[in-house]
Structure 1
């Protein structure tokens, strides 16, 4: 039986940070970089309080997210060895559900609808691995975790960190070669 992996959407295969930066520049004319976001949370990302939340509640936000560099190729590679599930705690933003599904169909058309899980609390996920950027999901996961680098987790060090998709593939390759 093949091992299974739960892969988060936002911040892992979908580049939410870049979307925040692009939308901020579009609306306010100011260019921030990903380094400017490091160590902040959604409430403190920008000088305007609550702006990140306003962005994610805007129509088109999730549908127009850029794909994370290397994500498509990496997910295809992982599917050769693992049963891959895309798992998103999408219920926090229920209006995002159709946009997220359409985004997956456009950018990851090779993922079956059977392997897409929209949920509220990811602690119900029972895969062998979880790749996620949020500690609230990783800390309660029973399998092995890979923390995908994000502005809000730069200080965390209690999960294996991957800064990009090449690092994810290397971590999993080493994991499999030691067995």
Structure 2
């Protein structure tokens, strides 16, 4: 019998991009943004200096040094017992991130095989039973069941099943077995 499949986004789901992005943005722009202060804002509203944002995201080692989201490693290990896990990242927007993301995954998630890592431009082609992502632009096209991982920019979105953390994600997915 085939295991059900889960596609898991990286940035904002496995990797805590918010913390590092806010820190770098504040340092570069002299701002005082905080996680609490950007809740409910779109990425464009939170990070108004778009050129600076793109410069930060294209800086070497930005993606390589992101912190791991709490409980992410243990949660994927647990889910892997009953599901086939694919890591899916729309990484080609920031080409420097491609090798960094592969290295980051090898360090933090060595139990994910290279065959189960998909670095792409658009996630519309992903056909898994579930997609865990923080962006509606990806979840809206999900061919399976979309699961929205809470992030500052999606707090006010309500049209997908929401999980606030990895413990909730595991509970929701284990209910489907």
TM range (shorter): over 0.9
Segments of 5+ residues of structure 2 without an aligned counterpart are: none
Matches within 5 A, 1:13-162: 13-27=14-28, 31-46=32-47, 48-162=49-163
Q: Is the 8 A contact 1:88 1:118 kept in 2?
A: yes
- Shift of residue 30 of structure 1? 5.0
| Alpha-carbon distance in structure 1 between the residues aligned to 2:29 and 2:140 | 36
Residue of structure 1 equivalent to 2:164? 163
TM-score by length of 2: 0.92
Q: Is the 8 A contact 1:11 1:150 kept in 2?
A: yes
What is the SS of the residue equivalent to 2:96?
A: helix
- Shift of residue 31 of structure 1? 4.5
What is the SS of the residue equivalent to 1:66?
A: coil
| Alpha-carbon distance in structure 1 between the residues aligned to 2:8 and 2:18 | 17
| Alpha-carbon distance in structure 2 between the residues aligned to 1:29 and 1:84 | 40
| Alpha-carbon distance in structure 2 between the residues aligned to 1:26 and 1:49 | 15
| Alpha-carbon distance in structure 1 between the residues aligned to 2:31 and 2:96 | 28
TM-score by length of 1: 0.91
What is the SS of the residue equivalent to 2:162?
A: strand
Question: Once structures 1 and 2 are overlaid, which stretch shifts more, 41-50 or 152-161?
Answer: 41-50
Aligned-CA RMSD value: 1.6
- Shift of residue 174 of structure 1? 2.2
| Alpha-carbon distance in structure 2 between the residues aligned to 1:94 and 1:48 | 21
Residue of structure 2 equivalent to 1:7? 8
| Alpha-carbon distance in structure 2 between the residues aligned to 1:117 and 1:78 | 18
| Alpha-carbon distance in structure 2 between the residues aligned to 1:50 and 1:111 | 34
Question: Once structures 1 and 2 are overlaid, which stretch shifts more, 96-105 or 21-30?
Answer: 21-30
Residue of structure 2 equivalent to 1:173? 174
| Alpha-carbon distance in structure 1 between the residues aligned to 2:119 and 2:85 | 14
Q: Deviations over 1:84-111 (max 9, x none)?
A: 0000011111121011111111111111
Q: Is the 8 A contact 1:25 1:31 kept in 2?
A: yes
What is the SS of the residue equivalent to 2:46?
A: coil
- Shift of residue 163 of structure 1? 0.7
Question: Once structures 1 and 2 are overlaid, which stretch shifts more, 42-51 or 128-137?
Answer: 42-51
